[in-house]
């Protein structure tokens, strides 16, 4: 695929360059609570603007239902991008309508605009090829060149990700090039021992990557809500903890296969439990109890890994040469249940391993818990995209950038 360096060498001055970014940042009202994805695409936008391009940045945010919804406006993201660039960023209040056309037409060389949330148009996410293609045709009228740099969306067959590159000369942005290069280090000629840490709520979200990584990893550590389905598969009581009962047979199969392959599966030996889920708004003290993983009371819910598990996981990561981590160990948004996630992050900071934090909640946790991002090998901007890449799937947004 063509790189942005090759594109810049050809010259972009005076050209309208459509940058498909991932500005899907978490918001508290109109306040951005984690601007990591905006900071990640800033270098590509800045390079293009410095080269004299008229840069049109587009993205989705959240899951609006194909119609404008003020709660999902990209206006806060556009303002933050302007702050990071140190330059005014124009904002169009629609995607392909009068405002978008006028805003793009008004750009001078080196200026930047952001158009409104792509998912305000039903064509962006449509499963109908013709409907999706019609929206891509409208987007193509806003640009002369396409740059794909929204890694967090490349696993989606959406109009701006998959269909639009076919309609314009295209190249991969710097962020996508970096992300793909990092993921190749996790799949090709991996430095060993190779440890994988998986957490988060649902085991069903991770089965594909577990299946694929059983052939590659030396050890797999499990935490978060998904751990309780693994504990259940081992025949243990999990109380009122998050449980996907229908996935227990599949998990038993993976545990058996791991044993046959010599892959070490590491599960919690103790957990923090409480009778109710914590209040994440007030963050009132939750007063959890620590119990052994085989002694969870029937009326209690597991909400984080316990202190002995934290020590165990740190020891299992200490000698690793490569680590991939996706998913928090507990309800890290509440201080009483953040220690497990913090312990894994600290173990990666302390380890000499090449460590990759696989996007989503893990990346947010690293920043929220106060860790220096530079202490990790790489923090991905795309959790779902990273997982699907590691599953060996073809990602539509990457395939569309191939010549």
Catalytic one of 302, 359, 360, 397? 360
Q: Is 360 among the catalytic positions? A: yes
> What distance in Å separates the CA atoms of residue 390 and residue 41, rounded to the nearest whole number?
22
Q: DSSP alpha helices (H): ranges in 223-377?
A: 227-233, 248-261, 307-318, 339-350, 360-368
Report which of 202, 196, 203 is spatially closest to residue 250, judged by C-alpha positions.
203
Beta bridge partners of 147: 19, 171
State phi, psi for 386 to the nearest 5 degrees.
Answer: -60, -45
> What distance in Å separates the CA atoms of residue 148 and residue 158, rounded to the nearest whole number?
12
State phi, psi for 257 to the nearest 5 degrees.
Answer: -65, -40
Catalytic one of 16, 20, 37, 342? 37
Contact 358, 187 (CB under 8 A): no
CA dihedral (201, 207, 212, 214) positive or negative: positive
Cα–Cα distance list, 376 to 272, 325, 349, 355, 371 (Å): 27, 11, 6, 6, 9
Catalytic one of 101, 167, 202, 216? 202
Q: Is 80 among the catalytic positions? A: no
CA angle 341, 380, 231 (to 5 degrees): 40
Contact 96, 56 (CB under 8 A): no
Active site residues: 37, 202, 360, 384
């Amino acid at each position: 695929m063509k790189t942005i360096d090759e594109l810049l060498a050809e010259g972009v001055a005076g050209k309208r360059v459509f940058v498909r970014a991932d500005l899907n940042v978490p918001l508290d009202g109109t306040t951005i609570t984690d601007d990591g994805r905006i900071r990640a695409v800033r270098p590509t936008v800045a390079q293009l603007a410095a080269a004299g391009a008229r840069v049109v940045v587009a993205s989705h945010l959240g899951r609006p239902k194909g119609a404008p919804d003020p709660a999902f406006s990209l206006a806060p993201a556009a303002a933050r991008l302007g702050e990071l660039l140190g330059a005014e960023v124009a904002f169009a209040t629609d995607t392909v309508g009068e405002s978008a056309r006028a805003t793009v037409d008004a750009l001078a060389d080196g200026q930047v605009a952001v158009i409104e949330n792509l998912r305000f148009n039903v064509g962006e996410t449509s499963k109908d090829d013709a409907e999706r293609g019609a929206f891509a045709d409208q987007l193509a009228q806003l640009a002369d060149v396409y740059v794909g740099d929204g890694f967090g969306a490349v696993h989606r067959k959406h109009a701006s990700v998959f269909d639009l590159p076919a309609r314009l000369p295209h190249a991969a942005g710097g962020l996508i090039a970096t992300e793909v290069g990092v993921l190749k280090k996790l799949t090709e000629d991996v430095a060993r021992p190779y440890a994988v840490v998986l957490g988060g709520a649902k085991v069903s979200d991770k089965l594909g990557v577990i299946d694929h990584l059983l052939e590659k990893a030396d050890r797999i550590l499990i935490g978060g809500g998904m751990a309780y389905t693994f504990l259940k598969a081992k025949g243990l009581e999990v109380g009122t903890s998050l449980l996907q009962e229908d996935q227990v047979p599949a998990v038993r199969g993976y545990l058996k296969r791991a044993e046959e392959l010599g892959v070490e599966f590491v599960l919690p030996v103790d957990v923090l439990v409480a009778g109710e889920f914590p209040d994440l708004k007030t963050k009132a003290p939750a007063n959890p109890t620590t119990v052994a993983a085989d002694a969870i009371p029937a009326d209690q819910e597991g909400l984080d890994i316990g202190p002995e598990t934290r020590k165990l996981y740190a020891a299992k990561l200490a000698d690793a040469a490569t680590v991939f981590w996706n998913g928090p160990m507990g309800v890290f948004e509440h201080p009483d249940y953040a220690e497990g996630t913090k312990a894994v992050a600290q173990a990666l900071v302390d380890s000499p391993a090449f460590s990759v934090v696989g996007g989503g909640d893990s990346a947010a946790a690293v920043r929220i818990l106060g860790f220096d991002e530079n202490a990790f090998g790489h923090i991905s901007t795309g959790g779902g995209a990273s997982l699907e890449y590691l599953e060996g799937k073809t990602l539509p947004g990457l395939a569309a950038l191939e010549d």
